[in-house]
């Protein structure tokens, strides 16, 4: 009897599919941060970090491609991964606002400023500390296709977390200058992490796939607390006021500039084969 119940449960799980909007949320996060990190090509502070950021970008863009392809196959409407990456406008993207911010202190989208590696490292840490536990949970989800993508992405996220954590600690517990820049970066980015935990339809969809939001938040905070102690950085107080809503399509002005850079070639030559 137990064997029969287990078989029935597995068949029921096999029929569960992640909603398109949730898959796009995951894909958009990966694509946007991948594009941001790729902007360090030719500009990284040392050669090893040039290669590291390029590899992280390729990992993230690879995750996005797998997820976009899954959405396209299930939609069966003639779309493909390029349709979602290159031919949607900013309000159609569902990425966290944190990921679209430029690598510098607050500036309007068209302003120029020095790239700040502290922003990059801190953001990569805050995001990968979220995604490593999330991919772990999703690798056990009842959507077999998503579970397979999650299992692959988990290995990459673990590396991203280790890399960003190591540099967070080195720079935070480094010179007075590096410590000050890391603390400033953390305080600048911290309010945007509230969006991780704000409630929307996406959180309900994740819960239906077996994601434990409370455990996810606890894991994220534990990873953060441990790293900040070693980095001698102070966790900012709880943010007050407006909570960013990128995952609901309400973005900063920065996403439009990023997408213009990302999409211009594909839109200038639609349907081209490379």
Q: Give CA–CA dist 64/153, Å, rounded.
A: 10
Closest CA to 202 of 168, 249, 236, 243: 249
Regarding the domain delimited by 18-103+117-235+244-268, which CATH topology (the fold level of the hierarchy) does it fall under?
Ferritin (1.20.1260)
Q: Residue ranges of the domains in the chain?
A: 18-103+117-235+244-268
Q: Give me the pLDDT at residue 104, please.
A: 76
Q: Give me the pLDDT at residue 115, please.
A: 82
Q: What is the pTM of this model?
A: 0.90
Which stretches of the chain score pLDDT less than 70?
1-15, 105-113
């Amino acid at each position: 009897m137990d064997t029969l119940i287990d078989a029935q449960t597995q068949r029921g799980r096999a029929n569960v599919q992640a909603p398109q909007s949730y898959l796009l949320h995951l894909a958009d996060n990966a694509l946007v941060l991948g594009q941001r990190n790729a902007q360090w090509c030719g500009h990284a502070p040392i050669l090893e970090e040039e290669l590291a950021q390029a590899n992280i970008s390729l990992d993230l863009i690879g995750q996005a491609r797998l997820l976009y392809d899954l959405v396209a196959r299930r939609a069966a409407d003639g779309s493909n991964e390029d349709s979602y990456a290159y031919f949607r406008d900013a309000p159609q993207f569902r990425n966290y606002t944190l990921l679209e911010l430029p690598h510098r202190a607050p500036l309007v989208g068209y302003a120029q400023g020095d790239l700040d590696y502290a922003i990059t490292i801190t953001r990569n840490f805050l995001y990968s500390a979220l995604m490593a536990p999330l991919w772990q949970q999703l690798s056990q989800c009842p959507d077999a296709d998503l579970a397979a993508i999650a299992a692959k992405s988990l290995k990459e996220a673990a590396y991203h977390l280790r890399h960003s954590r190591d540099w967070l600690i080195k720079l935070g517990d480094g010179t007075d200058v590096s410590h000050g820049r890391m603390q400033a970066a953390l305080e600048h980015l911290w309010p945007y992490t509230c969006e991780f935990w704000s409630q929307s339809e996406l959180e309900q969809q994740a819960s239906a796939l077996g994601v434990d939001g409370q455990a996810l938040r606890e894991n994220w905070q534990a990873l953060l607390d441990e790293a900040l102690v070693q980095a001698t950085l102070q966790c900012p107080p709880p943010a007050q006021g407006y909570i960013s809503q990128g995952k609901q399509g309400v973005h900063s002005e920065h996403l439009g500039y990023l997408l213009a850079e990302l999409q211009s070639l594909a839109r200038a030559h639609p349907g081209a084969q490379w």
